[in-house]
Structure 1
Amino acid sequence: MSEKTLSAVEAELYDRQIRLWGIESQEKLRASNVLLINCRGLGCEIAKNILLSGINSLTILDDCIVSEEEQTRNFFLSVDSIGKKLAEAVLPKAQALNPLVKLTADTQNPSEKDVEFYKSFTIIITTAIKTDLVLKIDKICRSNNVKLISGDVFGMFGFCVADFLKHDYYEDRVQMLGKKRSHDGSEKTTVQVQGQIDYPELNKVLIFPNTKQSVDAIKKSKRRNELFFLMLVLLEFRNENSRNPEISSKLEDMQKLKIIKSSIVDLYKVSENVFDDSLFEQIFGEVVPVSAILGGVIAQEVIKAVSHKEITINNIFLLDPLTFNGKEECVGA
């Protein structure tokens, strides 16, 4: 990826963030082409943040038709959007956020896209799709040096999983020049520290019953956060039912979740009490404030991954549905 020199208009528009992360990082963002799969409640929050960051282009891939329910939780939509193709309906308000970004709508089903389509992006963001498609896209990404991050919101619970390949980064750290301190800070200096994170492919991270992958590496590692297993249960629910748990079928879906939980804990050889079943009460619907929180986190990781500035998550972020604390897990490495 070759950086594009910022124009005078861009330098003025992005002045505040250039002061934050530097001209070099902004030029990397300016050269990046981003694919967002699904622009629903979580997706619109991600789109808002990365549009404002100053990327080169954003392609929104979504085959959804806008429903009345979707319209109420997506600030890019209006009542007039109901019945229209979502990817096209969000364009006017999304483009207004940053006219300098090339914005494209694609209404085809993501599963119908070929390898050539996916390999043309700098980074791909997926939301609200089944795990087998995420793993398929991740395989394409790894073969073509494309970064990937996948996230979802289930009620009060949110998470994202990243595969940023072999990712180089740098961060600025303040160091003291001597033992004595001065009031004007003259004995401090900022140095640039470089590092690298080698991300595992997602089929070594997201492992479910009835698959051929081994969970040995995960079982041998440190004790996993309980929310990691909650994430797996919810993803497997979608894999089996082609939908998220719904409040209209809550009792039935709660039983399905408990059955899936038993198969997950059996696969990973952990206690049935790895998390309390009462957590299932927290995962129905798509809560807008939770989408806003997770959308900010994912957009931040996209910016860091593209600009190579600051340390990215390694490799799972979990938003606790009870305390709303963010927790990072390194899985599969």
Structure 2
Amino acid sequence: MGETQLSAVEAELYDRQIRLWGIESQQKLRAANVLLIGIRGLGSEIAKNILLSGINSLTILDDGVVTEEELLKNFLLSRSSVGKKIAEEVMVKAQALNPLVKIVSDTEAVGKKDMDFFEKFTIVIATGIKTDLLLKIDKACHSKNVKFICGDVFGTFGYSISDFQEHKYIEEQIQLKGKKRDHKGEEKQTVKVENTINYPELKKVVILPNSKQSIEGIKKKKRRNVLFFVMLTLIEFRNRHNRNPSITTKNEDLKSLQEIKSEIFQVYDIDPAKVNDDIFDLIFGEVVPACAAVGGVIAQEVIKAVSQKEVPIHNVFLFDPITYNGTEECVGA
């Protein structure tokens, strides 16, 4: 943990948000050490928002190299970055967003990290990695009381899944102030109410074909948002192909997506007709506005988790690629 005491410079810089969520919440953010795995289109939007919030430190873990395509969706890069390590190339513009935050770049592959590596962080954010590794990281975080959130953007579709374990938070509520009345009516007061949400581990949420985990808890809810199963389809595609769907191999990728969708919908007893296969035409690449929307939500959840202020999403967020609306689902709890 970093120091919680705000300096005069920090108090002035963060004045507006201190007014929004209070000095105690800002001090908790000031002490937070955040790990961000993946600094691509979505990751750059997450980084921007949490840097501006005033955390203590941000470690950027990504072993990738900057491509021409990456320049189109990542505002933290410049043309001279092509061919260089992306975690290092985002440093200059990321630091300029908030010079008071310590930023560390790490170009080692996340799969090479020992699981003890993750225990030194307050919260871990993961993007762009396969399920088997996600589950290992979440398990390591769960055992060390480190909060965890993962998410991705596929075209204009996006999602996030949170594991904040036993999360306590403070919510401000307006209540009537006894039976007193004045000329304006009943007096009201704002009170702080403490609540707790228990989050399931990721392995109880992301259950794919051939998994040993029981799906009965997920199947219990009859009106589950079908975008949840679209999410599982895309996650399984990455697991099997070690990449996201690509526009350069669109026809074969669409065929694979339809096959995976059929498997998942069969496992969960979902009518395939509930999702038109045309939705998969919208899942190629990382569309920048979708990255901005989903990145904003993930960063917001990080701030809530760290500051323990206001109600966080419990536990899945889904961004509709057609309507651009976001919905919440409670899965596996």
The answer to whether TM tops 0.5 is yes
User: Contact 1:160–1:318 at 8 Å: present in 2 too?
Assistant: yes
Mean CA deviation greater in 45-54 or 4-13? 4-13
Residue in 2 that maps onto 1:4: 4
Match in the other structure for 1:276: 276
Alpha-carbon spacing, 1:188–1:266, altered in 2? closer, same or farther (3 Å)? same
> Which residue does 2:81 correspond to in 1?
81
Q: Distance in 2 between matches of 1:274 and 1:260?
A: 15
| Partners of 1:63 and 1:85 within 8 A in 2 | yes
Q: Residues of 2 paired with 1:182 and 1:221: CA distance?
A: 48
RMSD: 1.4
Distance in 2 (alpha carbons) for counterparts of 1:9 and 1:187: 38
Rounded to whole Å, the distance in 2 between the matches of 1:176 and 1:135 is: 45
| Superposition map of 1:1-333 within 5 A | 4-177=4-177, 178=179, 180=181, 182-183=183-184, 187-333=187-333
The one-letter amino acid paired with 1:132 is D
SS across alignment from 1:273: helix
Would the aligned equivalents of 1:29 and 1:55 in 2 still touch at CA under 8 Å?
Answer: yes
TM-superposed deviation, 1:216? 1.2
Q: Distance in 1 between matches of 2:98 and 2:286?
A: 26
Segments of structure 2 that go 5 or more residues without pairing to the other structure are: none
The answer to whether the 8 Å contact 1:315/1:328 transfers is yes
Output one character per residue of 1:145-188: Cα deviation in whole Å (capped at 9) or x when no partner.
000000100001111000000000011112232474655x9822
SS in 1 for 2:273: coil
Give the Cα–Cα distance (whole angstroms) in 2 for the partners of residues 325 and 72 of structure 1.
24
Of stretches 60-69 and 2-11 in structure 1, the one that deviates more from structure 2 is 2-11
Counterpart-to-counterpart distance in 2, 1:9 and 1:42: 30
TM-score scaled by length of structure 1: 0.97
Residue 223 of structure 1 deviates from its aligned partner by: 2.1
CA distance in 2, matches of 1:11, 1:186: 36
Q: Judge conservation of contact 1:60–1:104 (CA < 8 Å) in 2.
A: yes
The change in CA–CA distance for 1:117 and 1:72 in structure 2 (over 3 A counts) is same
| Conservation of the 8 A alpha-carbon contact between 1:36 and 1:43 | yes
Query: Distance in 2 between the 1:162 and 1:293 partners?
Result: 17
Q: Within 2, Cα distance between the matches of 1:103 and 1:182?
A: 55
Contact 2:116 2:140 in 1 (8 A): no
C-alpha deviation, 1:41, in angstroms: 0.2
Q: Is the 8 A contact 2:37 2:62 kept in 1?
A: yes
Q: Which runs of 5+ in 1 are unaligned?
A: none
**Aligned residues with identical type, % of pairs:** 63
Cα 1:186–1:96 shift into 2, 3 Å: farther
The CA distance in 2 between the partners of 1:171 and 1:3, in whole Å, is: 25
Corresponding residue SS for 1:187 = strand
